[in-house]
Every structure is written in C-alpha cells, then in structure tokens.
Structure 1
Amino acid sequence: MSHTSSPASRADVNSRVTAEIITAIEQGTGEWRAPWFHNGSSIARPTNVASGKRYRGINTLALWAAGFAAGYGDGLWGTYKQWQEAGAQVREGERSTTIVLWREIQASRPADSNDDADDGHRRMFARVFSVFNVAQVDGYERPPSPVLPENERLAHAEAFISNLGIKTEFGGPEAYYRPSADTVFMPDFASFRDPASFYGVWLHENGHASGAKHRIDRDLSGRFGSAAYAAEECCVEILSGLVLADLGIAHHPRPDHAAYVASWLKVLKDDPKAIFTAASKAQQAADWMHAQQPQAEEMAA
C-alpha cells in the first residue's frame, strides 16, 4: 500500500479535516487531555493522589515552589488522611504545605425579600488544607501505567518523521519543542494511549520545529496564552491531523485534535478567520514535511 498522495488529494484532505474539526468544535468537544499517561510524576504538574486531578491556580504555584525548594522529584500530593486511605503513612516530623480550596455557597436571604435575583447572595469561602508530597510518606506504590507495546510502532510514520531531520529526545514527562536547542522532547512511546496518539503528538511538536527560521520561518515568538501562541498551537494541531490522514493512520480528525484546537480558539474568539488562517499555515507546514521525503526529491528529479 502506498502512503504517498498527490498535492491535489492533500488539498482535499486539508479541506475535509478542517471542516470536520470545525463541526466537532460546534458540537462541543469536552476537555482536552494529554494522550500520554500522566501519573503526576512531574514536580511542575502537582497532582492529587486521591482524585488524580491536577491542582489549579495559586495551589499549582505553591506546590511547585515547595517541591522545588525541598528537592522533591515527584508532583504527587495528598492530605494526611488521603495518604492513609492510599495505604501509606506520612513520616513523623514531616512538615506540610498549605493549599486553599475555594467553594461557592448560596447565602440565605430574608423571608420577606422580594428580590428574585441571585446577585449578592452567592458567597465564596476558603478551606485550608495541609498536604504532603509522596516523598514524605512510606508504603506508597504507584499503580502501574498501561504500556503500549513496541511492536505497534508504524515503520512508515517513523521514516516520514525521521526524514524531517529534526532531533528528538525521548524519556521526559512532557512533549514540547525547544527552539534554542532546535530539539523536540517527547515521552516514551510506551506511555501513549495508542500509536495514533504517539505519532500525532510527535508530528505536532515537529510542526512547531517546522516554523524555525531556517525552515519555514513562521513566527514562534508568542508568549504562552497570547493570541500568537494560540494561533501557532491551532496551526500545528491541524497539521498533525492532516499528516495523520496523509499517512493513513487516522482518516478523520480524532476528538483529541478538535478539543485541543477548541481550547485555543477561545483565545482567538475575536478573530472569526483564525481557524482558516491556522489551516492555511498548517497546509504550508504539511507541504514542507512532504517535500523532505525521498519520493519528493525523486519526483522533482
């Protein structure tokens, strides 16, 4: 089976993938979750041992700072009781870290009040908790994460990405591209949910690298959370969907792609053309990736 496609058919794929992502966004995509198994091991991503959920807001910063200051290598935290319920015991003499959880409550109104509005009758109150890091407890064994077997690697996708000539380092807890080192960093293949997730994320990060000055020279200077950063994220996630379809790995955009693009479109809500601009830049990057393949050189010759 051939995994190459003509420019015309790629243009058709571009239109279809973009249209399907837009449709999925309009129907509601749910919350995006990283497609590799997060077990809370990153100290920069504090996670609660009982719920498995990430801490949010100021608590993230508080636990991040406390973890780094104490030299902890793991981002798993819990209250004394939560560690007990997990079968572990906080060691005697260990100092806790304080976090705050805010709750909204409905305040009672006078019985003779004729005001039907809720304005002014909802109040926030804070509950303070003391938490301990997994490094401060004994007897805790992290549940084993599922493992994606090596025999599910896809040779044609490996070759396609290898031909891009972009350095990748595996083994960390996060996926990202570092422009200063011109290097993609990826979790191991074994930690992904399925092969399509692995190649989709790898293509996404190579998509960022395609924008480097010595390649396509796309603006990569946007700060996290800015419109420029959001536009770049939308671009490379659509690119990932396009190339997965080109390679025959996922013939339609996966829910992950639509949810991820939707999460960034909120930043671009004042620009109705944002997704079409991102799709155009994605096609440019996809064309660059295809141009790096040996078949492209043979056809040009």
Structure 2
Amino acid sequence: MSSRMHSGARADVYTRITTEIVAAIEQGAGEWRAPWFHNGASVSRPTNVASGKRYRGINTVALWVAGMAAGYSDGLWGTYKQWQDAGAQVREGERSTSVVLWREIQAPRQADGDDGDDDGHRRMFARAFSVFNIAQVDGYERPSIDMLPESERLAHAEAFITNLGIKTVFGGSEAYYLPSSDTVFMPPFASFRDAMSFYGVWLHENGHACGAKHRLDRDLSGRFGSAAYAAEECCVEILSGLVLADLGIAHHPRPDHAAYIASWIKVLKDGPRAIFTAASKAQQAADWMHAQQPLSAGERQGSPAIP
C-alpha cells in the first residue's frame, strides 16, 4: 500500500469513522454512552504493543469506538506483524480496526506537472494501518505493571487541575466557565454523587477555559443548540476522556449529557470531518494541560516524554 493517502482515501477514512460513531449513537438511543466516557480501565488508554506509546487524537477515538463495540477490556493494540514479533498470533477471521499515521516531510520543489497541493517544500503523507486488539490474539501475556495506588488517584487529579493555573470559584449549583472573567465556577465537592463525577466536571469546565483566546483560541461563542456549541462540547468531552484516562479515573456522562446528543448527531452528519477536528482540538488541549504540569525527575534529566 502506498504511504501517500490520496484525497479520496482520506475522505473514506473520515467518513468511515464518523459513520461508525453516528451508528453507535443512534443504535443505543437512551442508554448510549459516547466512547470517550469510560471506567478508567486499560481499554480507555489505547497503546501500541510494539512501541509502548499511546495512540493519539482521532486514533484514540477510533480505538475507543472499536473497543466499546467489541466489549474489549484491554487497550493494547498492534498490527498483524507487531503481534507476530511479540510472539503472538492474530486469530483467523478476526476483524481489524484502522488507524492513520500522518507524517510531514520536506520535499524539493517539483517541475511542472507536480500534483502536490502546496509549495513543494512541505507534504503531508499518510498511511492507514490495520490493528488488532490483544483480545483478538493468542499467545501473548501482558507483563505485570505497577498500578497507580487508589489512595493517590484523586490527590493526583487535584494536583493536575490545580497546576493548570485556571481560577476556580466553588459554590452554587451550576458548573460553567465564564470567559469574561476567565473563571471556572463549580458546585462544592459535597454536592456531587462521587469523586469521579466531581473531577470529571471540573476538567470539563477547565477544558472550555483552555480554549480561551490567550490559551488555545477556540471558538467559544456558540449558543446552546448551535453547531459551534455542539462542536465545542464534543471537543471538551473527548478532552475529558483523554485526560481522565491519563489519570486513571472513570469518565461517566454528566447528568445533562442527554441534552447534547441530538446536536452532536447533527454536527457529525453535516460534516464527516467534524469528529476528526474535535479529536484533534481535544488532543491539542490535552497536550496543553500536560505541558502545565511540573517536570518529572526523568524529564528533568533529559529522558524523552511519552507522547
């Protein structure tokens, strides 16, 4: 397969993944949960078996969808060859899930007749890979890993959000971000049904705050029911799922989640690339949040960070 993905192939990937998500929403009307809501388990942190690195952006969302649909409990994925190299074998008849790897390369300016769509110096190449979940292979045993102690999970989340440096005022009965004062407003901890809900909502509102003009400059002007509002909510819900997965904390739907579903469907159906844009912006916001955290000892010593 050529490493360059032509426009038609790109459109096919956009359409296929978006269609799967729309189908999941419509099929589970009433009980449906978006794939970025999760229980904090391994399946919510899709990871490549060969590199040990986390998948990012739309690839995370695509693997969430596939994992949710198949009922997988583990987030370890790899290509057919990667599983072979790990001493495992993909079972016959197992269906793969596609992920996409984009690379920017420098290329010399071409003579007349070049079919590039830029100045000849920068080109985006993409390659689609077929991956399989650990549940689809035989002969692989996960190495044991140290899990984050339960006693530290919520303290870790508290520190993570505090490090963002975004002002929060506690009190009242509503959670929201007010751009005019660059402030997050949150009900008190005691008013939430559990700690996970509290941190999930707090991260959601901080997600809106990181889209402020002096941070990541997303469009926060949309009113409820508008396409801009739905796109921002979709972005921030994916962001919450990404960061809570990083923190090992369950991400369950907010009580008002049902009010957004209809508008999400409209946005996704109106443009197959909408979910890609939302996932890309969510990943950008997650990266920004992680960048606000103090460096670990390994990073201070020059060890590379896991993307």
Provide the TM-score with structure 1 as the length reference: 0.49
Who wins on radius of gyration, i.e. which is larger? 1
